[in-house]
Structure 1
Amino acid sequence: MSRPHGYSINSAASDDSEDDEPLIEPEAVPPQCCSARLNLAVLMLFGFSVVYGLRVNLSVAMVAMVNTTDPQPAQNSTFIHACPLPPGTENTSKTFLQPEGTPQYAWNSETQGWLLGAFFFGYLTTQIPGGYLAGHYGGRLFLGLGVLGTAALTLLTPLAAQFGSRWLFALRALEGFGEGVTFPAMMAMWARWAPPMERSRLMTLSGSGASFGTFLALPLTGFICQTLGWPAVFYLCGGAGCLWAVFWFIFVSDDPRTHRGISKEERDYIINSIGPQGTGHGWSVPLLPMLLSVPLWAIIITQMCSNWAFYTLLTSLPTYMNDILHFDLQSNGFLSALPYLGSWLSSTLSGVVADSLIERRVFSVTVVRKIFTLTGMLLPAAFLVAVSYAGCSHILTVTFLTLSSTAGGTSSAGVFMNQIDIAPRYAGFLLGITNTFGTIPGVMAPIATGYFTEDRTLQGWRTVFWVAAGINAGGALFFTIFGSGKIQPWAVTEEERAEAKKNRSRSIST
């Protein structure tokens, strides 16, 4: 299963190898259906569905948690709505009915913005150490404990809210602290599990759990809030995360070499196709070359730009549906979820298409990553601008938001997996770095949205969408200029260097 001259097919997928022989004979590839690597991807999909459900449930529950009938001292005059209220609701004193005895809180727009951004203060701190440790020890323990810890803390949300907004802020920050290790751990695991010609489809399938979980959580949160009360949201979501962790620790292994249920054919295929890059990176990492790596900075800047729009919608879309378009809570959750259904489908499909383009040598890895990044950032930017001018049209707003997120899903096969292209062995650590920077918009975007929309006007939300669109477009152009899909010199192992030197000597002698 190795390439001619002793190279592993892991290095063959770079841009310098496009005129070589096929990477691997089709009949030598074990079927993916029911394989250990596909089972791992599916379990990861459900895991990330859970953690994103835990992450976004507050966005919808916030609408039910806040007492909108409690007037602010400076707002004794009649409130002017940006869009007309639905017929029959003009004189309704309480928009969202909760089961009797369900508490509500008088949190203003600014406080809500800080609470929605609190998660990311903790999320920032564990990305890099989580990626480093997962790259050394393996990602199974860190991903499993990350989900389990976040789920357990979620169960305490109603108690923290009862104590006050500061307690809830601290709890959400702790949840982010636990969840911060999950994506770097995923990347570290795929560095050992994903054959190069299957990376795009396996990683987009597992990572699409973010969109799939959001799609499920938003409408379910609205339904649960109206039927059982908002505290039940956090009890049920937290319980689901604890249950998932049981299956994870039973069925998952760090490495195909230690997996109990994998076939010999699949194990040999994975190990031989990945080659020396599929091992832990040890305690030392080339920090200075990483710091000076232009392709790495291209990933960092681009992910920051893309995440601004993503986190703006993730944390603030239910508020927009409520304050501007006046959807009821259950419809709010369902319509807020539609964009993520499109994103889930497009990201999964984009992985299959990207792998096909690389395997058939239609384009190089670099070109494929840039194509999917451009389509996944420029098109969403255009649709976000369209949203800002949709006004009070429910149909146009939901349509443009859905198209924006659907197009954005294609970037999953672009910049968001580029770390494993440029440095497979250090992929978990690199994702920790890029995700740390990429999480900064998760802190800033909801806070900025809270300031822009303090008066709840269409003009304020238009600013929100224009800013997100402009940042998105800038990131796409930056990656197009500076991005790369080649394994960087500082990521090549000593074994690969020795093999390359031996091959050069053979070429000279012949």
Structure 2
Amino acid sequence: MAQTGYSINSTADDQYSDTTPLLKKEVEIIPGPVPPKCCSVRCNLAAMMFFGFAVVYGLRVNLSVAMVAMVNGTSNQSSPSSNFSNECPVPRHTLDNSSQSSEQPDGVPKYAWTPETQGWVLSAFFFGYLFTQIPGGYLSGRFGGKIFLGGGVLGTAALTLLTPLSAQFGAKWLFALRALEGFGEGVTFPAMMAMWARWAPPLERARLMTFSSAGSSFGAFVALPLTGFICQRLGWPAVFYSCGAVGCLWALFWFLLVSDEPRAHPRISDQEKDYIINSVGAQGTAHGWSVPVGSMAVSLPLWSIIMSQMCSNWSYYTLLTSLPIYMDTILHFDLQQNSLLSALPYLGGWLFAVGSGVLADNLLERELLSVTAVRKIFTFIGLFLPALFLVAVGFSGCSGALAVMFLTTSSTLGGVSAAGVYINQIDIAPRYAGMLLGITNTFGTIPGVLAPIVVGYLTKDHSVTGWRHVFWLSGAVSAFGAIFYVIFGTGKIQSWARIDQESETHIHS
């Protein structure tokens, strides 16, 4: 049977070159039809991941909107509107709507938590998220990512159901619960990367991976306004009960329909299975118990990914956790307006992330650019240009229209980086991609811990100046990450990533 696949037959000198395109230097195309993408098992896997990440990001961001309904302003407030900025005028309809939208059904509690306490609670998720990234990536690369991705979503969803109970016990209990949720969810993205190392043909990597991970932006886009609606209609506890139930339902379908690798899937066609196995080659197999940790630790291309992701995530997590509070205290949007406008930036980011993946693969297929050039261009556009618009938000003052426009433009352009640095791990070390994502995501989660806390302290007086400093800091950090990656990033497979492959290459050839 004729196949379209890839066999590794490059010389030692070719292995580390990055001429146009890199992938053709490393592989030889075997003539034959490419299995259709539509309704293929690999595309179905991308769809399942898309909805899975939509669920986990819904579970992650729902607290940021619900917090507006959970908290009765700040401690010792005398009026419902005293948490507003005194610098920006509060429209009369906003005062009227805020008193109505903040009302909760009988028996639903509200808490007098200070901005600093809110910042700590919002950052709690990331304290747990830090600790399971690297173990999750390592174990997913060794045993497969199905159980870790599905189990991470299921565990987070189940814990979410306990949120109202923990809040009643106090902020410290809610902090602990959110940290446990982060602990469970930390394995999901490394598991995704480990699975795509076995499932994604090289010339389809960007579109498959950007589509699946774009579920995070889609989840935030849907969850933010939906959370506001549920809070207003049913009370904030219903948010966590409904989101937790959806996560448990998704996990059921995941475990029934998904397999770790093409060889194990019961419903895949022989044509598609052979195409995937031959195209990913030896790099699509599990790595051993030992990994080249020392070489990874001194790898400059890996550190370029780490630094750029940390810088990008600072602004991303700042908006993810604190934007509804900015919409409430400075721009004075009511709860429904708040949740809808907070979600708007993620719509553009989702669309641009998916589009960037398709465009990146097309550039490689047509041999227009090398992998390194593609990753650097998409990363620069996705980090540096959004930084400029974040700085512009700081100049928007009390203008809600300008602030929303700049924030939406910034997040929309940020989606372009999905086809850049965020999938670069699979370029430089396909076989260890899961563990590398665990490493980069561990460092990338540090801003998730620090950013809400910093925002809480910078904005404790609810001033426009404080929020201006928040946006300027985010823009500066993001711009630095773009420049650092452009200087030191690469799309070449690293020598330490080929060590275990060399003996298998002869067998595969």
> With structure 2 as the length reference, what TM-score do the two structures score?
0.94
Q: Post-superposition shift, 1:391?
A: 1.4
Match of 1:18 among 11, 18, 21: 21
Aligned residues of 1:51 and 1:213 also touching (Cα < 8 A)? yes
- Matched positions, count: 500
Establish whether residue 141 from structure 1 lines up as the match of residue 147 from structure 2: yes
Report the CA distance shift for 1:420/1:77 in structure 2 as closer, same or farther (over 3 A).
Answer: closer
Establish whether residue 316 from structure 1 lines up as the match of residue 322 from structure 2: yes
Q: Which amino acid aligns with 1:211?
A: S
Establish whether residue 436 from structure 1 lines up as the match of residue 472 from structure 2: no
1:346 is aligned to 352
Cα distance in 2 for partners of 1:422, 1:120 equals 27
Q: Which amino acid aligns with 2:18?
A: D
Report the CA distance shift for 1:2/1:454 in structure 2 as closer, same or farther (over 3 A).
Answer: same
Establish whether residue 84 from structure 1 lines up as the match of residue 69 from structure 2: no
SS in structure 1 at match of 2:73: coil
Q: Post-superposition shift, 1:82?
A: 2.8
Report the CA distance shift for 1:185/1:230 in structure 2 as closer, same or farther (over 3 A).
Answer: same
2:459 is aligned to 453
Q: Post-superposition shift, 1:500?
A: 7.9
1:117 is aligned to 123
Establish whether residue 400 from structure 1 lines up as the match of residue 402 from structure 2: no
2:58 is aligned to 53
Q: Post-superposition shift, 1:79?
A: 7.1
Match of 2:73 among 68, 71, 77: 68
Report the CA distance shift for 1:80/1:385 in structure 2 as closer, same or farther (over 3 A).
Answer: closer
Establish whether residue 41 from structure 1 lines up as the match of residue 46 from structure 2: yes
Establish whether residue 379 from structure 1 lines up as the match of residue 385 from structure 2: yes
Cα distance in 1 for partners of 2:117, 2:99 equals 21
1:286 is aligned to 292
Query: Where does the alignment leave 5 or more consecutive residues of structure 2 unmatched?
Result: none
1:390 is aligned to 396
Establish whether residue 168 from structure 1 lines up as the match of residue 170 from structure 2: no
Aligned residues of 2:84 and 2:328 also touching (Cα < 8 A)? no
Q: Which amino acid aligns with 1:282?
A: G
More displaced stretch, 225-234 vs 95-104:
95-104
Q: Which amino acid aligns with 1:156?
A: L
Matches within 5 A, 1:68-467: 68=73, 71-72=76-77, 81-90=86-95, 94=99, 96-467=102-473
Aligned residues of 2:207 and 2:357 also touching (Cα < 8 A)? yes
SS in structure 1 at match of 2:367: coil
Q: Post-superposition shift, 1:56?
A: 0.3
SS in structure 1 at match of 2:92: coil
Cα distance in 1 for partners of 2:349, 2:462 equals 28
Cα distance in 2 for partners of 1:499, 1:248 equals 33
SS in structure 1 at match of 2:134: helix
Q: Deviations over 1:225-270 (max 9, x none)?
A: 0000000000000000000000000000000000011000000000
Identity of aligned residues (%): 66
Aligned residues of 2:85 and 2:330 also touching (Cα < 8 A)? no
Cα distance in 1 for partners of 2:60, 2:338 equals 17
Report the CA distance shift for 1:4/1:80 in structure 2 as closer, same or farther (over 3 A).
Answer: closer
Report the CA distance shift for 1:227/1:206 in structure 2 as closer, same or farther (over 3 A).
Answer: same
Report the CA distance shift for 1:266/1:502 in structure 2 as closer, same or farther (over 3 A).
Answer: closer
Cα distance in 1 for partners of 2:304, 2:400 equals 37
Q: Deviations over 1:482-505 (max 9, x none)?
A: 0010000010154446758999xx
SS in structure 1 at match of 2:180: helix
Q: Post-superposition shift, 1:282?
A: 1.2
Q: Post-superposition shift, 1:15?
A: 1.7
More displaced stretch, 350-359 vs 83-92:
83-92
Matches within 5 A, 1:478-493: 478-493=484-499
SS in structure 2 at match of 1:282: coil
Q: Which amino acid aligns with 1:263?
A: S
Q: Post-superposition shift, 1:14?
A: 6.6
Cα distance in 2 for partners of 1:498, 1:120 equals 39
Q: Post-superposition shift, 1:13?
A: 11
SS in structure 1 at match of 2:108: coil
Cα distance in 2 for partners of 1:410, 1:13 equals 27
2:477 is aligned to 471
Cα distance in 1 for partners of 2:8, 2:187 equals 38
> With structure 1 as the length reference, what TM-score do the two structures score?
0.93
Q: Post-superposition shift, 1:396?
A: 1.1
Provide the aligned C-alpha RMSD in A: 2.4
Aligned residues of 1:138 and 1:280 also touching (Cα < 8 A)? yes
Report the CA distance shift for 1:406/1:66 in structure 2 as closer, same or farther (over 3 A).
Answer: same
Cα distance in 2 for partners of 1:16, 1:76 equals 61
Q: Which amino acid aligns with 1:332?
A: N
Aligned residues of 2:53 and 2:219 also touching (Cα < 8 A)? yes
